Structure 1
Amino acid sequence: MRRTVTTMAAVSDDAALVALFERLALEAGREVMRVYREGCEVDRKADASPVTEADRKAEKIILAGLRAACPHVPCVAEEEVSAGIVPADLGAEFFLIDPLDGTKEFVNRRTDFTVNIALVRNGVPQVGVVFAPCTGKLYSGLPGHAEAAEVDADFRVADRRPIAARQGVKPLAVVASRSHNTPETEAYIASLGGAEIVSVGSSLKFCLVAGAEADVYPRFGRTMEWDTAAGDAVLRAAGGVTVTLDGAPLRYGKRNQPDDADFANPHFIAKGR
């Protein structure tokens, strides 16, 4: 399933793409951990969300690698979008990049932040990698297959294992945002009755559902597509689903929305099979 990727004129080999994503996520994660150890200033973007040197340098690493390997595939990356750099036409396939998901966790010296890279194909996140550099957790997914792995202190990958979302477990384990909980989320969890609640930051919430460590991730707060695409791809590869409140699959590449910004997600529920 894994092999080295140098250039791909078009996205056609999902296994090779996972290998590329993993390599870039590990490189970016190494830089994130350097900044984490040394410390850095925290700036604020126009929407008041935090951004750091780690976000910017990790994104630069990822974009350079993706554009070298797949020069014809558009890239939508959080910090570039914040700077006004957005592809004019997404086409049928595009990359979504969040170089440091969980910047609040990073700034507050917690461990549950991630590097996220995904390929969206016809509105569906089909290939994704999520790497938590502080804990060494690496998740990957492509249609029909999802994996979890451990990454050691030298950023070497070991102990790969397939993962699959579970179904029919009672009581449910519900994973909720550590930094963005809302009254609507609490009401939804209460409606499930007797659910165990696990709080964690970043896209790891999707990965816990994908790996059968949780059953449901309800999100009734604001997210952007780069926040969710990689974790969503892993979950779907593991047999789970992410749906909007009307039951439709969450779609990607949303632009010119009448009531929200480009790439903003509606509320959704991610769950096992």
Structure 2
Amino acid sequence: MPLNANSDEFRIQPGHAVDPQSLDLDAVADIFAEIALEAAVAVMAIYGAESHARRKADTSPVCDADEYAEKIILERLSNRLPAFPVLAEEAAAHGKKTISGSTFILVDPVDGTREFLSRNGEFTINIALVVDGRPKAGVVYAPARGQLWIGATGASCCFVAPGAPLPPREGRRPIHVRAAPLNGLTALVSRSHADPETEAFLAQLPIRERREAGSSLKFCAVAEGVADVYPRFGQTMEWDTAAGDAVLRAAGGIVLDGDRHPLEYGKAGRQFRNGPFVAWGDPSAVLPEAK
């Protein structure tokens, strides 16, 4: 069965043996983008109204937007890509942390719930396809900004409103990481999760500028070549990072874990928790001991 098709035609039936080597990753990414644009309508309806956070078992906040968006995303994925197992943040919070096989989808319906609740616009919808431990296709959509980043065989971005049609590929701007500037690096750090380890790491680098940002926007800024490095030493989950990681890798960057290996996905034995990682734009800028 040929798997090269546009996103309207592309569909893999349940039970079909998926050959990762023959997947049309760009078509998969387009489907993710269309689903994210649809889910964003519900997210923005709640964003414009008063919303209150609740606490999950891990004490992180959750609000109605997370749950409504995840419901839409899961329904659409079940219809359009039913062959792929899906691991989604809110379902996982309720104990559904089981996936089978090495090809699966990770969903974070609202990455940056704190940013959502503070109304600063720095939250995203993240959807990614993982194949053999690597994020091969992913989308990051910032609905309050109308910005969409797509990563698969290449990386691109565009402006598109929630609920609007996905622009054709030729209407999107290709993006790529930049070479490390000779006059110093631009570092991105989490707006909501500062820690001493990050400060110690950045002290080793020739940092010219430091910026704060929320959610997966940090990955996307590095992918676009407007920043160079994003370290994260606090806890994250795989659904937090997979989509941004996919965009960055497609743009020529790299994400290294604490053992200086490419960040892996499908860590069921660790409940899908990531360890420390650093996202780099120019791989040649990686600290010598981190290569």
TM-score (norm 1): 0.93
- What amino acid sits opposite 1:137 in the alignment? Q
Query: Contact conserved, 1:116 with 1:131, CA < 8 A, in 2?
Result: yes
- Cα shift at 1:119: 0.2
Q: Matches of 1:272 and 1:194 in 2, distance apart?
A: 14
- Specify the SS of the correspondent of 1:7: coil
Which sits farther off after the overlay, 184-193 or 220-229? 184-193
Counterpart pick for 2:139 among 129, 139, 147: 129
Q: 2:178 aligns with which of 147, 166, 178?
A: 166
Tell me what 2:275 maps to. 266
- Tell me how far apart the structure 1 counterparts of residues 207 and 266 of structure 2 sit (CA, whole Å): 36
1:176-215 alignment to 2 at 5 Å? Answer: 176-215=189-228
Unaligned runs of 5+ residues in structure 2 are 283-291
Note the C-alpha offset of 1:95. Answer: 0.3
Contact 2:41 2:162 in 1 (8 A): no
Query: What letter matches 1:184 in structure 2?
Result: E
Identify the residue that residue 59 of structure 2 maps to in structure 1: 48
Does 2:18 correspond to 1:16?
A: no
Structure 1 distance, partners of 2:268, 2:219, is 24
* Matched AA of 2:269: N
SS in 1 for 2:26: helix
Structural RMSD (CA): 1.6
Structure 1 SS opposite 2:35: helix
SS in 2 for 1:195: strand
2:119 is matched with 109
- What residue in structure 2 maps to residue 155 of structure 1? 164
Change (3 A) 1:256 1:154: closer
Number of equivalenced pairs: 267
1:157 CA displacement? 4.6
Q: Which moved more, 1:156-165 or 1:71-80?
A: 156-165
Aligned partner of 1:76 in structure 2 is 87
Shift of 1:35: 0.3
Q: Which amino acid aligns with 2:188?
A: V
Could you tell me whether the CA contact under 8 Å between 1:30 and 1:155 is conserved in 2?
no
SS of residue paired to 1:191? coil
Deviates more, 1:133-142 or 1:248-257: 248-257
Out of 216, 224, 241, the position equivalent to 1:228 is 241
Cα distance 1:64–1:45, how it changes in 2: closer, same or farther (>3 A)?
same
Question: Secondary structure of the equivalent of 1:230?
Answer: helix
Residue 29 of structure 1 is matched in structure 2 by: 40
Which residue identity is paired with 1:4? D
| Residue ranges of structure 1 left out of the alignment (5+ in a row) | none
Scaled by the length of structure 2, what TM-score is found?
A: 0.87
Looking at structure 2, the residues matched to 63 and 154 of structure 1 have their Cα atoms a distance apart, in angstroms, of 17
Q: State the identity %.
A: 48
**Structure 1 CA distance, aligned partners of 2:6 and 2:80?**
16
Instruction: Give the residue type in structure 1 aligned to 2:213.
Output: V
The equivalent position to 2:73 in structure 1, one of 57, 62, 67, is 62
